[in-house]
Amino acid sequence: MSRKLNFNAGPGALPDEVLQQAANAVIDYNNSGLSILEISHRGNAFAAIIEESKQLVRELCELGDDYEVLWLHGGGRLQFCMVPMNFLGDDDIAGYIDTDHWSHAAIEYAQYYGNVQVLASSKENNYNRLPLWPEKIAVDLSYVHFTSNNTIYGTQWHSVPECNVPLVADMSSDIFCSRRDYKHCDMFYAAAQKNAGAAGVTLVVIRKDMLERGRRKLPSMLDYKAQAKENSVLNTSPVFAIYTSLLMLRWTKNRGIDAIEKENKLKADLLYKEVERNSLFNLYVEKKEDRSLMNVCFTAIDPGTEKSFLKFCDDRNITGVKGHRSIGGFRVSLYNAVTVRATKALAEAMKEFEQSKDN
């Protein structure tokens, strides 16, 4: 089968070997005579999957046993709800950093449960840069929430700041992309479908002492403490999605975070340079230090060429470069599984497209 060069924003590209291993497990999981789709979420085989995945997450994020690792349903968006449900009482205030469509959605959800103070925002600039991180954060805030990588607009906080109140990060689109101080976060989460597996499960990593900070009585499915107590098998877990995440975690460990970071920088550099050089395109994010390693966003100087560039890509087996409907243009996602070879092929296609317009 010929595989496309996949630059989709999420679900994103997965490594060939992970797909092959997942496919094998669908037919027969570890010579058990059962498909991974058929095993019980309460059996020993799945308990081993959960245990190994927890260890690998801690190892890759350089965290100790003081962090709990959970696999939950409901995608990134359910975390936009669960964070305030658990940690924001009716009269409490949480600080949010507003850098994109997703952080904005997180703010809207939080307002159902308590008060939100927007500590910094780049909304006025159409999110084409990062705001300054707030210098002073009031100690009575319940927590501060930020989005480490802004998938739609292509900005990224490259390091995790220290914070004097509990820090919660949405790392859905850049987890495991580089070495960073995960321990500066009291909680972080990532919908799996970019660097951590397939859609259908969300990785939540939370300091154990946060589990005692619940602000209201909640049904157990929505309560981090109850989920932790049941080791992510409170109800029927998405076994296959969690197994796919385990395969991604093993792949990530085998390659090593440093090697992944190096390659991500190479891919991003290659593409940003091409967009800057190419006379047909404009980068969306001007400030170099704000640019995401994961999502490279740009527009066509002549909007009339947009469609023909997409067709040009399609003819070359390149897919997933159309921008999000809210800003248009192009977005190329360079998640961990995207190869340097694929990135070079795209940069080459951009050059050829430019030449085709010259003639």
Catalytic residues: 102, 170, 194
Provide the minimum distance between the beta carbon of 76 and ligand PMP in the complex, in angstroms, as a whole number.
3
- Find residue 297's DSSP bridge partners: 331
Q: Which is nearer to ligand PMP, 40 or 319 (CB)?
A: 319
Listing DSSP states for 201-256 in one string gives: -EEEEEEGGGGGG--S---GGG-HHHHHHTTT-SS---HHHHHHHHHHHHHHHHH-
Q: Which is nearer to ligand PMP, 10 or 197 (CB)?
A: 10
Integer CA distances (angstroms), 96 to 56, 79, 106, 131, 170, in order? 29, 14, 8, 12, 11
- 300 lines the binding site for ligand PMP (CB under 6 A): no
Distance CA 118, CA 108 (A): 11
Q: Which two tokens stand for residue 39?
A: 């095993």
CA angle 182, 184, 190 (to 5 degrees): 45
Q: Which is nearer to ligand PMP, 178 or 274 (CB)?
A: 178
- 166 lines the binding site for ligand PMP (CB under 6 A): no
Integer CA distances (angstroms), 311 to 1, 307, 316, 318, 356, in order? 22, 6, 9, 9, 13
Tell me, residue by residue from 223 to 262, as one string, x for binding to ligand PMP by CB under 6 A and - for no binding: ----------------------------------------
Is residue 27 within 8 Å of 33, Cβ to Cβ?
Answer: no
Residue that has been written with the tokens 């850098």 in this structure: 99
The residue range among 11-19, 126-134, 167-175, 334-342 that interacts with ligand PMP, by the rule CB under 6 A, is 167-175
Task: Quickly list H helices, 3-68.
Answer: 16-27, 44-60
The residue range among 24-32, 56-64, 88-96, 165-173 that interacts with ligand PMP, by the rule CB under 6 A, is 165-173
In the region spanning residues 135 to 164, those forming contacts with ligand PMP, defined by CB under 6 A, are 147, 151
- 75 lines the binding site for ligand PMP (CB under 6 A): yes
Q: Which is nearer to ligand PMP, 103 or 300 (CB)?
A: 103
Provide the minimum distance between the beta carbon of 198 and ligand PMP in the complex, in angstroms, as a whole number.
11
- 12 lines the binding site for ligand PMP (CB under 6 A): no
Distance CA 197, CA 191 (A): 9
Relative to beta strand 144-147, strand 67-72 is unpaired
The residue range among 156-164, 170-178, 243-251, 300-308 that interacts with ligand PMP, by the rule CB under 6 A, is 170-178
- 77 lines the binding site for ligand PMP (CB under 6 A): yes
Q: Which two tokens stand for residue 262?
A: 């190096």
Q: Where are the beta strands (DSSP E) in 250-322?
A: 281-283, 295-300, 318-319
The residue range among 73-81, 118-126, 179-187, 342-350 that interacts with ligand PMP, by the rule CB under 6 A, is 73-81
Provide the minimum distance between the beta carbon of 319 and ligand PMP in the complex, in angstroms, as a whole number.
17
Residue from the set 14, 22, 185, 191 that interacts with ligand PMP by CB under 6 A: 191
Provide the minimum distance between the beta carbon of 106 and ligand PMP in the complex, in angstroms, as a whole number.
8
Report phi then psi at 308, rounded to 5. -70, -30
Tell me, residue by residue from 100 to 139, as one string, x for binding to ligand PMP by CB under 6 A and - for no binding: --x-------------------------------------
* Sites of contact with ligand PMP (CB under 6 A): 10, 75-77, 102, 147, 151, 170, 172-173, 191
